[in-house]
Amino acid sequence: MDKKIYVTLIVAVFVAFTVVFDTLPRSTYSELEKRELKKFPPFTADSLKNGSFTAEVSSWFSDSEPYRDVFMALSMKVKGLMALTLPGEETVRFHASDAPAAAADTIAEPAGGEMGEYVNNVTADENAKIANAGIIVVGEGKKVRALMAFGGGAKGGGSYARLANAYGRALGSGVTVYCMAIPIASEFYCPDKARSATRPQLPVIRNIYAQLDEGVKAVDAYSALAAHAGEDIYLRTDHHWAPLGAYYAAQAFARTAGVPFRDLKSYDRHVVRRFVGSMYGYSKDISVKEAPEDFVYYTPRGINYTTTYQNYTIDEHYRVTGVSKPARGPFFYHYRDGNGGAYSTFMGSDAKLTVVKTGTANGRRVLIIKDSFGNALPGYLFFSFEEVHVVDFRYFKKNVKAYVRDNHITDVLFACNIFNAYSGAMNRNCMRFLTQDGTITPPPPLPGGPHAADSLKRPASPTAPADSLPRHHAPARQPDSSAVARQAVPKA
């Protein structure tokens, strides 16, 4: 009898899975992973002959299973329940090596003052574990924080300085170039127990700034952030900083550029509640999902501005294939409570060229060349510049020298997180801006066959998940259009 019950249960489970996976609608988007899932491939005789069609069907079938996020969350829950905590010891580490990071190299100090060493007084004594992809999960309960580990050496980042120097020479004395290297959260919130799992970022930032030409100005976002580490300047469940962190960095930039800057009294505060960002999908740790946070952002009050976009069309491999005509749109998008895409509040996505004309008539026009960390900066600069132009290092297709000349740009700011500042690929992309002619031609086929695009998904920087992962920079899903914030005086 026991055997019959056992067999019956097993058969029922298999039948249930067969019904779910073969008959229910397939998933098309993963909120957990923040990406579009694979689509059923088009059939051609050639694809069938060379085997790529069946391979792509298999990939589609495994990537788009019904209730994908539900099953992944359930798997994380089971793994979380299996975790062991021994008396007097930290959580057992299942996924990553505890090998200590290499000692930092000795480097030159930057000219014009030294950024002070940061002492962690916020999470130094917290418990920590290493989750999937080397993510450091800090603390327990509602204040869990997930951190990306940084693996770069102190002598790295020189290409970021050389990039800024090249722009300074190419654009001439009429344009001031600024370099901002943005630290990630592990620099400020990694507990002492997990310090060996990540390397310090300050030596890299010092090395970058030490190599800048005399006319290129370093923006010390590091000190500005360190001074406010006790505040919510980084998101706990996402790999980005919080809008408040961007505010302090924008203030440091305005001070360096010698332009006016308004404090938060001139802004309206908005909150997206129950936000869980990208680190849930990266870490595969259920505790991150169970510790949602408030996504707090600020919109300027008492200033009229207009935002114009040119949207880039990108293919499934994140290559630009076309560009739209300029069109008006909101700078701030409103996301409903619980939406994991709330960081796209700023401009909606990365694959576009943005121009904001403000009511500030001071003749200063800034071009921000950025990664997605930089998306949160422009909204704090409407009182500081007459125009704010924003381009992403992955998608800009115009010649930057012609663009600066034609738009009377006076200031150029590079604003990238430490991963991309360290990345040679990012810097090579931006160097091409100086010579490209602005035309968009169909991209050539990827070498290596139908799965060559998989190589595009590997982080270019010395770490696990980085801002260079393409799936976080496909155009964001369209937010609730009925709740888009108004341009002049946005409503909560």
Six token digits for residue 445: 């086929």
Query: What is the per-residue pLDDT across 119-131, written as a single tens digit (0 to 9) for each?
Result: 999 999 999 999 9
Within 361-475, where are the H helices? 400-406, 418-422, 424-432
pLDDT in tens, 257-300: 999 999 999 999 999 999 999 999 999 899 999 999 999 999 99
Residue 139 — pLDDT band, cuts 50, 70, 90? very high
At 73 the three-state DSSP class reads helix
**Tens-digit pLDDT profile for residues 192-203:** 999 999 999 999
Predicted local confidence at residue 452, as pLDDT: 42
E strand spans, 276-351? 293-300, 306-314, 320-323, 327-329
User: What's the predicted TM-score (pTM) here?
Assistant: 0.75
What pLDDT sits at residue 4?
73
Most confident of 62-66, 77-81, 384-388, 473-477: 384-388
Distance CA 15, CA 334 (A): 43
Smallest Cα–Cα separation from 328: which of 486, 489, 139? 486
Q: What is the rounded average pLDDT of the residues 180-205?
A: 96
Model confidence band, residue 331 (pLDDT cutoffs 50, 70, 90):
very high
**Residue 115 pLDDT level (bands cut at 50, 70, 90):** confident
Phi, psi of 455 (to 5 degrees): -65, -25
Confidence grade of residue 16 (pLDDT, cut at 50, 70, 90): low
Residue 73, pLDDT score: 54
For residue 267, what are the CA distances in angstroms to 158, 257, 301, 361?
Answer: 37, 21, 5, 19
pLDDT band at 316 (very low <50, low <70, confident <90, very high): confident
How much is the average pLDDT of 391-401?
A: 95
Query: Reduced to 3 states, what is the DSSP secondary structure of residue 207?
Result: helix
Domain segments of the chain: what residues?
2-66, 128-483
Query: DSSP assignment, residue 122?
Result: S
Residue with tokens 């999470």: 123
H/E stretch holding 177 reads strand 176-182
**Percent of the chain residues past pLDDT 90, beyond the cut:** 60
| Model confidence pLDDT, tens digit, residues 219-269 | 999 999 999 999 999 999 999 999 999 999 999 999 999 999 999 999 999
Band of pLDDT at residue 48, cut at 50, 70 and 90? confident
What whole-number distance in Å separates Cα of residue 299 and Cα of residue 140?
A: 32
C-alpha 247/C-alpha 243 separation (Å) is: 6
- Considering the chain, what is the average pLDDT of its residues? 81
CA distances from 175 to 213, 248, 256, 304, 408 (A): 14, 24, 14, 26, 9
